[in-house]
Structure 1
Amino acid sequence: MGVVVSLEEGKKERASIMPLVDLTRHDMSRVNELILSKAGSNVELIPEIANHLISSGGKRLRPMITLAAAQMFGYDGDGHVKLATSVEFMHTATLLHDDVVDESGLRRGKATARMIWGNQASVLVGDYLLGQAFRMMVDVGSLKALDILSTAASVIAEGEVMQLSAAKNLETTEDEYLAVIKAKTAALFSAAAEVGPVIANTSRAEQAALRSYGANLGLAFQLIDDALDYGGDAKDLGKNVGDDFREGKVTLPVILSYRRGTPDERRFWKQAIEENRSDDAALERAVGLMARYGAIADTIGRARQFGEIATDALAPLKETPQKAALLEVVEFCISRVS
C-alpha cells in the first residue's frame, strides 16, 4: 500500500534481550508455572480469557526485569518469583482493560478478548488478575514492595483516565502526553525494577537507581512504540502498523506534526483523528507529514534521551551480569527503530 516509512535502512546489529532471558530462565519457568496456577479458577471463563492473552507471545520483559533486579543484589528467596508474577498479572490486566477502552480488535495478530467474549468479561477477568496479583504481593510479606506495586496500580488507573480525557484531543501538549505515558507505561516498569532491590534489603540509593532505570526505560519503550506505529514492523510492535492512527490516538508523532503543520494540515489532522477519517490514504498522508516535520525522528530522539537517563541511573552500581543485561535491554528497546 505504500503507507509507512521504512525504519529498516541502515540498521546496525541489534542489541538483544537474550542475556536477560538467559539469566532469568530458571526463575521465569517458576513464574510461568505460577501464572498458570494463579490464573486458574472454577469459573471456566476466567482461565479461558486469561490464558488467551497470557499465551499470546509477549516478551514478559517486566517480570524478567523484576527477577534480574533481585538477582543482581544476591537475593536468594522466592519472593521475587511471586512479585514478578504479580507484575505480569498487572500488565495483563492493563491490556485487557486497554483493549476495552480503545475498542481494539487485534492484539499481536490475534482477536482481542473483548472481540471473543465481550467487554464485560474482559474487564472482570482483568479485575480478577489484579486481585490475584495483590494476594501474591501479600504472600511475599514486604510492606514496601506491596506499597510500590499498589501505588503503581493506582497510578496506571489514573493514566487510563488521563488518556481517556485526552482522547482525540489534538490540543494535547507534549508535556501532557508524557504525563499520560509516565503513568500508563513507565509506572509499572519502574515498580517492576524497584521491588527487586527492595526485597533484597539494599540501600535506598540502590533502590532509587532501579526505580529511575525502570521509569525512564518505560518512557523510552512507549515512545519507540509510538514511532513504530507509523513505520515499523508488526512483530516489533505486537499489533498492526497504523493501529494508533486508525483508533484516533493522539501520540507524540501526531502532536508534533499537528503543532508544526500549516492551517490546512491541521485541518487534515482534525478530520483524521477527531472525525475518524483514517483510511489508508489518510494514513499515507499522515506519514508524509510526519516525515516532512521530523516528527518520527524527534520522537525517537526523545526516546533515546530517556534511554540515556535509564543507563546513567545504573552507572554507580557494581558490575554484574544482571546489570549488563539490564543495560542491554535499554539498547534493545531503542534498536527496534535504529
Structure 2
Amino acid sequence: MEACNRTIVARMQSPVPLIPQLGAHLVAAGGKRLRPLLTLASARLCGYPADADHQRHVGLAACVEFIHTATLLHDDVVDESLLRRGLASANAVFGNKASVLVGDFLFARSFQLMTADGSLRVMAILSAASATIAEGEVLQMATQNDLSTPIEKYLEVIHGKTAALFAAACRVGAVVAGRSEREEEALDAYGTNLGMAFQLVDDALDYAADQQTLGKTVGDDMREGKITLPVLAAYHAADAQGRAFWERVIEQGEQTDEDLPHALERIAQTNAIRTTVECAQTYADKAVQALSIFPDSPIRRLMVDAAAYTVSRAN
C-alpha cells in the first residue's frame, strides 16, 4: 500500500499547477483505499511474488484508485456535493470546471497505467469496468425521483456504479499472477458481492450516520431524490400518510428544513436501515463464500475481514 500511495502521488504530478494542487487536496482527504487494497491482496492471494521484480499489481492498484477518484470528482459535480471524506469537496474548493477536467486527467492517467502494464487482458477488464461505471451513473440519473423503481433496478444501478470496479480490481490480481479462469471468476464474484454490500451500507449510512463520522453530508441522497433501498423499504412499508410524504419529498422534490428529521424518523419506524444492512450482509456472506476455493492464509483472512468491515463500518 505504501508503494501504491507513492505511485498515486507521483502520477498526479503535472506541469499544470492546478492538477497537483487539486490532487494534493484529494490525497490530504485520505479515503479508505479499499479498491487498490483489493488488487494487491488478490494478487498476493494468487501467489504473485512480493519483491522488487514483481510490481505490476502496484501500478494496477494505483490505476484502480485513479478510476475511482475520477468518478468521485465527476459525481460530486453532478450531485452538487459540498463534502467528501470529511473535507470540502474538490468542486466546492476549486469549482466544477476544474473538478471535471482533473477527473478527465485522472481517467487518462489510469489508461496510461493500463498501457504501461502491457496486458490487453488487464486493459479489457478495467476499461469495461470504466464503461460500466458510467452506465451505472446514467441509470441512477434515469431512476432519480421515481419511487416506482423496482428493487431489481436499484440493484442494477449499484452493481454498475460500485460493484463493477470492485470486481475488476480483484480480477486483475488473478490475471497478473497468471492464475486460472476459475480463480479469476472466484475473485470477480468476491469483488462483485463485496461492492454490492459496500454500496448498500453507503446508502444506509446516508440516513443513519453521524455527519462528522460519515465525512459527507447526511441526507444528500434525499435532497437529490436518489432512489436507494432505505427509501424504497420505508416507502413500501409506509401507510398512506407515509407514502404521501415520500412522494412529496422524493418524486415532487418539495422539501423543507424539517423534512430530513422526519424522513429519518420514518426510516427508523419502518426498520428500513435494518432491511438494507441485512441485504448487505447477504452479499458480504456471498463474497466470503467465493473465497472458499483458496487455501487458508493471512491474505485470505484479510479479505474475509474486509467483508466484515464493509457491513459494520460507520463511514
Q: Same fold (TM over 0.5)?
A: yes
1:46 to 3, 16, 19: 19
Of residues 279, 289, 296, the one that matches 1:319 is 296
Q: Structure 2 vs 1, CA of residues 179 and 61 (structure 1 numbering), >3 Å: closer, same or farther?
A: same
1:57 paired with 2:30, answer yes
Deviates more, 1:101-110 or 1:189-198: 101-110
Aligned-partner SS, 1:230: helix
1:182-221 matches, within 5 Å, as: 182-221=159-198
**Which 10-residue stretch deviates more, 303-312 or 117-126?**
117-126
- 1:298 alignment partner in structure 2: 275
* Cα 1:236/1:203, change in 2 over 3 Å: farther
- Looking at structure 2, the residues matched to 258 and 133 of structure 1 have their Cα atoms a distance apart, in angstroms, of 40
Q: Which runs of 5+ in 2 are unaligned?
A: none
What is the one-letter code of the residue matched to 1:53? L
Q: Distance in 1 between matches of 2:142 and 2:271?
A: 27
Match in the other structure for 2:133? 156
Amino acid at match of 1:170: L
Question: For 1:336 and 1:110, how far apart are their aligned partners in 2?
Answer: 19
**Cα deviation, residue 59, structure 1:** 1.2
How far apart are the structure 1 equivalents of 2:188 and 2:157?
18
Residue type matched to 2:47 in 1?
A: G
**Aligned counterparts of 1:322 and 1:221: Cα–Cα separation in 2:** 20
What TM-score, normalized by structure 2, do the two folds share? 0.94
Report if aligned partners of 2:145, 2:253 keep a CA contact under 8 Å in 1: no
Alpha-carbon displacement from aligned partner over 1:211-269 (angstroms, at most 9, x marks no partner): 00000000001111111121123465331322222332221110111122223222211
Provide the C-alpha distance between the structure 2 equivalents of 1:233 and 1:331, rounded to a whole number of angstroms: 20
1:274 Cα deviation (Å)?
3.2
Corresponding position of 1:67: 40
CA RMSD of aligned residues (A): 1.5
For structure 1, list consecutive stretches of 5 or more residues without a partner in the other structure: 1-27
1:120-166, Cα deviation, whole Å (9 max, x unpaired): 21111101101110111111112111111000000001011111111
The correspondence of residues 132-151 of structure 1 with structure 2, limited to 5 A, is 132-151=109-128
How many corresponding residue pairs? 310
> Which one-letter code corresponds to 2:9 in the other structure?
L
Contact 2:83 2:215 in 1 (8 A): no
Structure-2 residue corresponding to 1:10: none
1:87 corresponds to? 64
CA distance in 1 between partners of 2:26 and 2:140 (Å)? 23
Q: Which amino acid aligns with 2:24?
A: N
Partner of 1:171: 148
Ranked by relative contact order (alpha carbons within 8 Å, sequence separation 6 or more), the top structure is: 1
- Counterpart of 2:201, as a letter, is I
- Is the CA contact 1:245–1:278 (under 8 Å) kept in the aligned structure 2? no
Whole-angstrom CA distance in 2 between matches of 1:85 and 1:336:
24
Tell whether the 8 Å contact from 2:140 to 2:226 is kept in structure 1 after alignment: no
Looking at structure 2, the residues matched to 296 and 59 of structure 1 have their Cα atoms a distance apart, in angstroms, of 23
- Is the Cα contact below 8 Å between 2:144 and 2:227 reproduced in 1? yes
The two structures have a TM-score, normalised by structure 1, of 0.88
Superposed displacement of residue 118, structure 1 = 1.8
